[in-house]
Chains A and B, each alone.
Chain A
Amino acid sequence: MSINNLKVSIAEKIIINGLNLTINHGEVHAIMGPNGSGKSTLAKTLAGHPECEIQSGSISYLGKDLFDLSVEERANEGIFMGFQYPIEIPGLSNTAFLKAALNAKKKSQGDEEITAVDFLKELKHNAEVIGMDQAFLNRGVNEGFSGGEKKRNEILQMMMLKPILSILDETDSGLDIDAMKTVANGLNSMRRKDSSFLLITHYDRLLGYIKPDFVHVLSKGQIIQSGDSTLANQLEEKGYEWLVKT
């Protein structure tokens, strides 16, 4: 994916202001930055949220213009966004939801629907990897889940859908250390040559478990500093101010 000079506004306020970023296959990028720097807006823009208005710039993804693709087309082309605040949908079971999503992807690729047996086998396996209780699979989507359980559920969806580019918005917030480890296990199990990650995070805690290839600092809608994983450590020590001031 290649993002060029992107400007995005929400409710007529510019949030992303000239952002450039290239993510190649197999790479893990982390975006850090203070509150209000535009991290979540970037994630939402990539997923196609209707409230993000593109002012200028371009994004190409697998040789296509991303803006030509609808929200669901982006998903079916392999873009996955893990929500900072996953949505509760009572009345729709987690299992039925995952099956609908998986079959939508299969349909878009011209494949046949997954069989119930294969689906359940894979679902159970993935739930085990991230330490999710089977009982959660039959409950309404995120209904009454704790913050940590919701985040685990995002990772479960990601594992089932096998995206090419995973954008995880603050997936580490609200997780205790054990949950963080299991979530990281899930993520690491998916690292492949042909998949890439964009991790959006406040702190470097998650980055202790998943080592990023690149770390970027976002401020006022622009990337003001990029580096390797050691940049995250520096930020942990010094905060953001030393960068923002320069």
Chain B
Amino acid sequence: MNTHFDLNGSQLKDYGLDLIDVDWLKQLKKETLARLKTQSIPSKKDEEWRYTNIKPLIQKCFELAAKNSISNLKKDKPFIQKHSDNNIFIYYADGHFCFMGNLPSYIKTLRTSEDQMIFQTLLNYDVEKIHTPFADLNTLMLSDVLMIETLKNQKIDATIHIIICSDVEQNINPRLLVRLRENSSIRIFEHYLTSNSCVINSLTDINCEKNSQLDYYKIIDEQEQGYHLSLSNIRLARNSYLNLFSWDCGANISRNNINIDLVEKNASVNLNALFFPTGKLHVDNQLKIKHLAEKCESSLDYRGILQDQSTGVFGGEVYVAQEARDTQSDMKNRNLLLSDDARINTKPVLEIYNEDVQCSHSATSGCLDNDKLFYLQSRGIEETDAMNILIRSFASEIIEKIKNSQMKRTFQEYLVQKLQ
């Protein structure tokens, strides 16, 4: 078996190079292509892919690369909402970011921006830094880039919705760059809503400067036959704060890698997530938090609700460097298995290189608690209703942690809808 990307064949030879007519990007893609050829295709033999069979995803990805379908979304965009004071909507469809009206000055796209230099600098830097095959595939196939770049001291109240959607089989490679300048704040809400068997391979790079705050939400609600891959690399400077909430309903394969580097003193991160696959769907969460400076905090709470024959993976790794004194970290993964055939593989790992830390990690999995069920039934609530109440309460605990009231309401309503 060939363990390297076979890119000499016809299917990927020219792919992506003609999507956008910019010389520097063509050059970048050529370099990426050369590098990708030398990389190994991940397989179950790799520790980090042990519980997720990546083969069908790669197959589908190559198959679709040759196809180049265009969805109907582009022609008429009835789904596109106008911006309001509190919400800005940006859609990614058929390879580019689109929107109604004008974007605020802190949001730019590669296709529409006159300032190519900044994209060139940041993308070159990104490509240099990230060496995973899927990141390279994203670069190779990208046809647009969205950049959100705040000004120093800029506090943005609106929620920036980024909606990745498609109604035909496509390869979708969204690329997002977020730069939060000193003392600024913003809220971003990514929605992945495809209605066909797409392969999404998204790449996000976030840099939070001193005293900045990012409130970041994510929903992955795709079609059963779809594949979702996402990689987020996040860097947090002094006193900066990241709050991340994600909800993943799963896909044929849904794999989310989040890497967070706490690089300066007092940076903190709060990650809460629900994954809720049904049928035969699969969700794989991979988190790497690196404490590289003193007095940083990280808190992770991932909850899985697994039904039918669905499967889940939690791989959480917290690394504490020698110089990261006075570190606080808490990592939890709790799983509710609602059927005998549902399965979870969980592995929280701590790697600590100094003694001045308060770190904890835990993982649990089990079915609905019989004592709780009996308690509810003894108050007259029917068994199926009682089960639903308990599932809801398990999920609600995470949703209740959302501080922004509008976002909390959004996810509460979403939960009610999902449990119907």
Contact = CB atoms under 8 A, between A and B. Distances in A.
B interface residue count range (under 10 / 10 to 19 / 20 to 34 / 35 or more): 20 to 34
Given A91-B400, A104-B382, A104-B385, A75 B393 contact: no
Interface stretch (A4-12, A18-26, A47-55): A47-55
A36 B204 CA distance: 62
Contacts, number: 76
Contacts of A100: 376, 379, 381, 385, 389
A140 B372 CA distance: 13
A50 B377 CA distance: 11
Interface of B is mostly: helix
B36 to A, nearest CB: 45
A98 B397 CA distance: 18
Nearest to B399: A91
Nearest to A71: B377
Nearest to A106: B380
B380 A75 contact: yes
A128 to B, nearest CB: 21
State which size class the interface on A falls in.
Answer: 20 to 34
Contacts of A71: 374, 377-378
B374 A105 contact: no
A72 interface: yes
B389 A72 contact: no
Contacts of A92: 389-390, 392-393, 396
B268 to A, nearest CB: 24
B416 to A, nearest CB: 12
B377 A87 contact: no
B371 interface: yes
Contacts of B379: 75, 97, 100-101, 104, 157, 161
B383 interface: yes
Contacts of A48: 377-378
A72 B396 CA distance: 24
Interface in A99-133: 100-101, 104-105, 108
Contacts of B376: 89, 97, 100-101
Contacts of A49: 374
A71 B382 CA distance: 9
A97 B385 CA distance: 12
A101 B379 CA distance: 6
B382 A90 contact: no
A86 interface: yes
Interface string B346-378: 000000000000000000000000111011111
A81 interface: yes
A90 B301 CA distance: 15
B380 A81 contact: no
A89 B393 CA distance: 7
Contacts of B383: 70, 72
Contacts of A161: 379-380
Nearest to B371: A87
B301 to A, nearest CB: 12
A147 B386 CA distance: 24
A144 to B, nearest CB: 13
B388 to A, nearest CB: 10
B395 interface: yes
B319 interface: no
A102 B225 CA distance: 42
B374 A50 contact: yes
Interface of A: 47-50, 70-72, 74-76, 80-81, 83, 86-87, 89-92, 97, 100-101, 104-105, 108, 140, 157, 161
28 contacts: A48-B378, A50-B370, A72-B377, A72-B378, A72-B380, A72-B381, A75-B377, A80-B378, A87-B374, A87-B375, A89-B393, A90-B393, A90-B397, A91-B394, A91-B395, A91-B397, A92-B390, A92-B393, A92-B396, A97-B379, A100-B381, A101-B379, A101-B380, A104-B380, A104-B381, A104-B385, A105-B380, A108-B380
Given A91-B393, A140-B397, 9 more contacts: A70-B383, A71-B374, A72-B383, A72-B386, A75-B379, A91-B396, A92-B392, A101-B379, A140-B393
Interface of B: 370-372, 374-383, 385-386, 389-390, 392-397, 400
